[in-house]
Amino acid sequence: MYCNITSCSVLGVDPIPINVEVDVSPGLPSFSVVGSPGAEIKEAKDRVFTALKNSGLGAPLSKITVNLYPADLRKDGTGLDLPIAVGILISSGQLKTEIIRDTWMIGELGLNGEVKPVKGVLPVVAKASSLGVKNIIVPAGNAGEATLIRGINILCATDISSVYNYLKDPNSAPLDSPEYTDDSESDDLLSPEYDFIQVSGQETAKRASIISAAGFHSMLMSGPPGVGKSLIAKCIPGILPPLSEKEKIEMTTIMSVAGKLSDKKALIKSRGFEAPHHSITVHGLLGGGATPKPGAVTLAHRSVLFLDELTEFDRHTLDALRQPIEDKKVHISRVNYQVEFPADFLLVCAMNPCPCGYYPDRNKCNCTEPEIKRYLGKISGPVLDRIDLCVEMTPIKLSDMKAGNNTMSSLEMRQKVISARNMQKKRYANTAYRFNSELKGSDIEKYCHLGEKEKALAETLYEKLSLSLRSYHRMLRISRTLADLDESEEIQIKHLYEAASFRPNPSYWQKM
Amino acid sequence: MIKENELYFIKKLCSVPSFNGRLGIDIINHFGSAENLFSADEKTLASLLKPSMFKNLMKADYEDKDNHYSFVSIYDEEYPLILKKISDPPLGFWYYGKLPDKKLPSVAVIGARDCSDYGAYIAKTIGTYLAKSGVQVISGLARGIDGIAQRAALDSGGYSAAVLGSGVDICYPASNLDTYEKLKKDGCIISTYKPGTKALPINFPPRNRIVSGLCDAVIVIEARQKSGTLITVDMALEQGREVFAVPGRITDRLSDGCNALIGQGANVFLSPEIFLCELSELFEAKKEGEYHPKTGHFKPLQLSEDTKKKHRGFSGNEENLDISGEEKKVLESLSLSPITADELSLKLPEFDYATLSMLLMQLLIDGHISQIGQGSYVRVFK
């Protein structure tokens, strides 16, 4: 006997509906799975058989064939255990039900028959809902994320026998159908774990952070060890503006696919902080694998990607960042298909200015010029070119720390960032742009309008600082953000000067 | 005048570094000529020399390539007299350009390779000043102080000679290539190593004795406590040259070597003007007739006591700057030690961040300050 159950697998972050066809026929006992199953799915037969046996449901000693449609698409993950088990129950005649016609199911089975949580439930439920499916059976452990989606009946399964009983008679043995409960209202944003008020001095770095957050400009801090580079980076998520509803779902989807959602607080409400170690590979950073998994850039979507010790990263790894920085997504190609991961992150980097870490303080630094040159050479020109704000930090004296602590708190800085973002929202209302840092080509002249005096100054800066055209445009974009922070429609002289002060110093990066 | 044949054998002997000095001169004296030396039988040589020296000599191999460089031996008239008088003069050396003028004073300007901006500024000023006063600047073309001083001397139309630790045809370090080319044209490149020799670390200490040997006085600009520069100073003292050290702040590690030299009794370099006065006194006292300043183009300032007082300190260019009051305030807070905008804002609390960064950029584009590292600033003295 044959039956067909719909489930869903996830490719990248995109859900792909899968038809699980099960046929049980007389013949020598065998179990074969066809339709490009991955290793986990081939193993499913042992899990399914044992789970059925241990739940007191019989597994037939017949010829069992499972086909996964579309058969040419490689499938991975353990979410197909549950539909295969139910398919066997129906095909072997143990279960008669009509419900599976408008019900999807997903879940992994334990040997005792328990239904265990799987990765990527959120996009699957969203897909089912958008296709007008009535019910979806998900593992109880994934209830938190599944209930974020409205317009579909979520049924939570704890073990295979409860699913069996439900399908047999939905009225007498209903499955738990929880509702979404919004317990907290963005509370974690109001008091960020790392607050700029904890940072003494370092005005330049703070200033760069606020510009970076307001216009989504990437940033590089250089300074000796222990100066507070990492602390400042950790403070940045706290001054980024709140997430929109759409962005929250995007981020939660990625975390669901990566299996990083906690059961209780499923919806992600605050921006994250992703800090991969410098030994990370290209695949770890961009994503990859036989069936592509999201990398660090995708986990940092709409959040901060912090690369500490930038010069210690493999040069190829850093160079691979260029495409996601430009496109804000990662393309991964496999023979049969292509996967696209979103990767719209705010790049924040930190490094020492020289191998020993103390340049230009020649009292501590003994590095020779060729040594420093070699050290800086680890960061290729194209990568440096994509960094908007460069800042040097020096250690602060204890006496100065006590004296002038008129620091803004993260909350105050965030207010400024939000108002600057609102100005950008208004300006770019009917365009594809969201932030000043995204402006390209002729739109730079259009949106970064300069008065006569300002234009003359911009030209002087271009000549005197021997800027490239790219760094000239970068200066204009940053001064646009500075003007937005001042809530000024026009870019002023002081904005241009300040923007220019954040350029990478050519005499350090090239001549050294 | 040496015969062509003999010249070849002298060059061949010079091509062995351990023989290009007192040993080479002595052994030629023993055999009467270099030609005799090379035709002597091996047994005689082996009994005269240490085994390692004998081995080196046997390996001697020299072929003259026509490469526009010249060679001078201690038997030639052009050989610098001042160098002949040191205890271990080279038997001969290869060179490009024209040798230092015997009638003019020569001063070695040496110091740290990775110098500070203070050192770089002093080197540039001294190089320029010496060149304009007709003093020849001798150094080693190294990165940092050496190269900066030589470049400054050449740029202001003066004469400079570089003594290399590699063959004359090899520019080391490569970053000083344009200075090397300019020296070839307007100055001199000297090496006791045969053309084609690479810049090996062991070549440098022996070449330092030539640097100090070619000059009348040595100025040390910046040196750490343990520095190769101090090797040159030791040799200079052995050769009886006057050593002048540029003092630095006691907190600067790059000035430790100079300050220690002053502690040991070296002359203090206070300003180029005072140095030139002292140099001319040195001349008249030491090198009667031969190097008399009045016979050459050397025209040191004859400073009166009043002027000396005025020149007691090093004069910068504070006066007559065409800048606004605010800019001046910022400029005065900057020195030759790098400082970041953050540190500056602690010194100048009256400016907010945006104003300060604006003033700094204004000063930067007008060339009054320069940017070191990613965001540190130093003052520029023109």
Span A131-175, pLDDT tens digits: 999 999 999 999 989 989 989 999 999 999 999 999 998 888 888
Q: How remote is the C-alpha of A101 from its chain's centroid?
A: 35
What residues contact residue B380 under an 8 Å CB cut-off, 6+ apart?
Answer: B367, B368, B369, B370
Cβ contact (<8 Å) for A461 and B365? Answer: yes
Query: A350 near A307, Cβ under 8 Å?
Result: yes
Q: Counting one residue from A and one from B, how many pairs have CB atoms under 8 Å apart?
A: 101
| Concatenated DSSP letters of B296-308 | SS-------HHHH
Query: B73 near B14, Cβ under 8 Å?
Result: yes
B259 in any annotated domain: yes
What residues contact residue A285 under an 8 Å CB cut-off, 6+ apart?
Answer: A276, A295, A296, A297, A317, A320, A321
Query: B274 near B307, Cβ under 8 Å?
Result: no
Determine the Cα–Cα distance for residues B148 and B175; give it in Å rounded to an integer: 12
> DSSP 3-state assignment of A408?
coil
Determine the Cα–Cα distance for residues A92 and A281; give it in Å rounded to an integer: 48
Residue B293 has pLDDT above 50, yes or no: no
Residue B47 has pLDDT above 80, yes or no: yes
How would you classify residue A289: left for phi > 0, otherwise alpha for psi between -120 and 50, otherwise beta? left
- What number is the average pLDDT over the span B157-163? 95
B86 in any annotated domain: no
Sign of CA dihedral B235, B239, B244, B250: positive
What residues contact residue B278 under an 8 Å CB cut-off, 6+ apart?
Answer: B242, B244, B267
Take residue B335 and report the two structure tokens written for it: 């020195």
Cβ contact (<8 Å) for B373 and A353? Answer: yes
Residue B285 has pLDDT above 80, yes or no: no
Residue B290 has pLDDT above 50, yes or no: no
Q: How confident is the model at residue B309 (pLDDT cuts 50, 70, 90)?
A: low
Q: Return the percentage of chain B with pLDDT > 90, whole number.
A: 58
Q: How confident is the model at residue B257 (pLDDT cuts 50, 70, 90)?
A: very high
B-chain residue closest to A353, CA distance: B373
Other Cβ atoms less than 10 A from the Cβ of A397: the count is 12
Residue B318 has pLDDT above 60, yes or no: no
Nearest to A360 among B358, B360, B373 (CB): B373
Query: A12 near A340, Cβ under 8 Å?
Result: yes
Report long-range pairs for A148-154 (Cβ below 8 Å, ≥24 apart): A148/A122, A148/A180, A148/A249, A148/A252, A148/A266, A148/A267, A149/A122, A149/A125, A150/A180, A152/A125, A152/A128, A153/A177, A154/A125, A154/A178
Residue A487 has pLDDT above 50, yes or no: yes
| Residue reference for tokens 């897909």 | A127
B201 interfaces chain A, CB cutoff of 8 Å: no
Q: How remote is the C-alpha of B209 from its chain's centroid?
A: 12
Q: Tell me the residue type at A512.
A: M
Query: B194 near B221, Cβ under 8 Å?
Result: no
A-chain residue closest to B227, CA distance: A366
B88 in any annotated domain: no
Residues B48 and B106 occupy one common structural domain? no
Helix-strand-coil split of chain A, %, nearest 5: 40, 20, 40
Q: What does the mean pLDDT of chain B come to? A: 87
Last residue of a domain, one of B264, B282, B310: B310
- What number is the average pLDDT over the span A68-80? 90
Cβ contact (<8 Å) for A363 and B252? Answer: yes
Q: How remote is the C-alpha of A391 from its chain's centroid?
A: 26
Determine the Cα–Cα distance for residues A277 and A281; give it in Å rounded to an integer: 10
Residues B259 and B295 occupy one common structural domain? yes
Span A298-307, pLDDT tens digits: 999 999 999 9
What residues contact residue B48 under an 8 Å CB cut-off, 6+ apart?
Answer: B27, B30
Span A350-368, pLDDT tens digits: 999 999 999 888 888 989 8
Span A397-429, pLDDT tens digits: 777 766 555 678 899 999 999 999 999 999 999
CA distances from A290 to A320, A339, A389 (A): 19, 11, 37
Residue B300 has pLDDT above 90, yes or no: no
B199 interfaces chain A, CB cutoff of 8 Å: no
Residue A47 has pLDDT above 90, yes or no: yes
B-chain residue closest to A207, CA distance: B353
Cβ contact (<8 Å) for B349 and A404? Answer: yes
Cross-sheet strand order for the sheet of A389-392: A273-274, A304-307, A346-351, A219-222, A389-392
Determine the Cα–Cα distance for residues B225 and B255; give it in Å rounded to an integer: 8
**Can you give the pLDDT at residue A429?**
92
Phi, psi at residue A324, to the nearest 5°?
-60, -30
**Can you give the pLDDT at residue A193?**
82
Residue B288 has pLDDT above 80, yes or no: no
Q: How confident is the model at residue B294 (pLDDT cuts 50, 70, 90)?
A: very low
Residues B269 and B159 occupy one common structural domain? yes
Residues B51 and B108 occupy one common structural domain? no
Query: A58 near A119, Cβ under 8 Å?
Result: no
> What CATH code is carried by the domain that includes residue B364?
1.10.10.10
B215 in any annotated domain: yes
Determine the Cα–Cα distance for residues A264 and A244; give it in Å rounded to an integer: 21
**Can you give the pLDDT at residue A213?**
96
**Can you give the pLDDT at residue B308?**
61
Determine the Cα–Cα distance for residues B299 and B278; give it in Å rounded to an integer: 13
CA distances from A507 to A351, A370, B122, B373, B376 (A): 18, 14, 20, 8, 12
A-chain residue closest to B370, CA distance: A507
Nearest to B285 by CA among B155, B105, B128, B153: B105
Last residue of a domain, one of B276, B310, B344: B310
Partners of residue B345 in chain A, C-beta under 8 Å: 203
B299 in any annotated domain: yes
Cβ contact (<8 Å) for A392 and B362? Answer: no
Residues B43 and B111 occupy one common structural domain? no
Q: Between B323 and A234, where is the model more confident?
A: A234
B70 in any annotated domain: no
What residues contact residue A57 under an 8 Å CB cut-off, 6+ apart?
Answer: A89, A94, A160, A161, A164
Phi, psi at residue A333, to the nearest 5°?
-105, 135
Alpha helices in A169-244, H assignment, sequence order: 187-190, 203-215, 229-235
List the single range of A214-223, A416-425, B61-70, B236-245 with lowest mean pLDDT. B61-70
B84 in any annotated domain: no
Among B residues 214-273, those touching chain A with beta carbons less than 8 Å apart: 224, 251-254
Determine the Cα–Cα distance for residues A288 and A296; give it in Å rounded to an integer: 11
Q: What does the mean pLDDT of chain A come to? A: 90
Residue B1 has pLDDT above 90, yes or no: no
Residues B218 and B270 occupy one common structural domain? yes
Residues B124 and B17 occupy one common structural domain? no
B341 interfaces chain A, CB cutoff of 8 Å: yes
Nearest to A203 among B113, B342, B373 (CB): B342
Q: Return the percentage of chain A with pLDDT > 70, whole number.
A: 96
Other Cβ atoms less than 10 A from the Cβ of A225: the count is 11
**Can you give the pLDDT at residue B291?**
43
Residues B228 and B360 occupy one common structural domain? no
| Concatenated DSSP letters of A29-67 | -EEEEESSB-HHHHTHHHHHHHHHHHTT-----SEEEEE
Residues B16 and B111 occupy one common structural domain? no
B320 in any annotated domain: no
Cβ contact (<8 Å) for B254 and A362? Answer: yes
Cβ contact (<8 Å) for A396 and B340? Answer: no
Q: How far is A186 from chain B (nearest CA, A)?
A: 33
Q: In chain B, how many domains are there?
A: 3
Q: How far is A115 from chain B (nearest CA, A)?
A: 56
Determine the Cα–Cα distance for residues A291 and A297; give it in Å rounded to an integer: 17
Nearest to B251 among A363, A368, A497 (CB): A363
B324 interfaces chain A, CB cutoff of 8 Å: no
CA distances from A275 to A272, A407, B77 (A): 10, 26, 71
Q: How confident is the model at residue B289 (pLDDT cuts 50, 70, 90)?
A: very low
Residue B292 has pLDDT above 90, yes or no: no
Partners of residue B143 in chain A, C-beta under 8 Å: 368-369
Cβ contact (<8 Å) for A394 and B340? Answer: yes
Residues B198 and B260 occupy one common structural domain? yes
Take residue A66 and report the two structure tokens written for it: 């499972």
B-chain residue closest to A371, CA distance: B114
Cis ω on the peptide bond leading into residue B247 (within 30° of 0)?
no
**Interface confidence: ipTM more than 0.85:** no
**Can you give the pLDDT at residue B295?**
39
Residue A236 has pLDDT above 90, yes or no: yes
Domains of chain A: 2-168 (3.30.230.10), 188-435 (3.40.50.300), 439-512 (1.10.8)
Among B residues 168-197, those touching chain A with beta carbons less than 8 Å apart: 175
> Partners of A5 in the beta sheet?
A20
Q: 0.90 exceeded by the pTM?
A: no
Residues B212 and B342 occupy one common structural domain? no
Domain region containing B340? 325-379
CA distances from A427 to A214, A217, A301, A435, A489 (A): 14, 17, 24, 10, 10
Strand spans (E) along A301-358: 304-307, 329-333, 338-342, 346-351
Q: Tell me the residue type at A305.
A: L
**Can you give the pLDDT at residue A52?**
94
Cβ contact (<8 Å) for B253 and A497? Answer: no
Residues B38 and B160 occupy one common structural domain? no
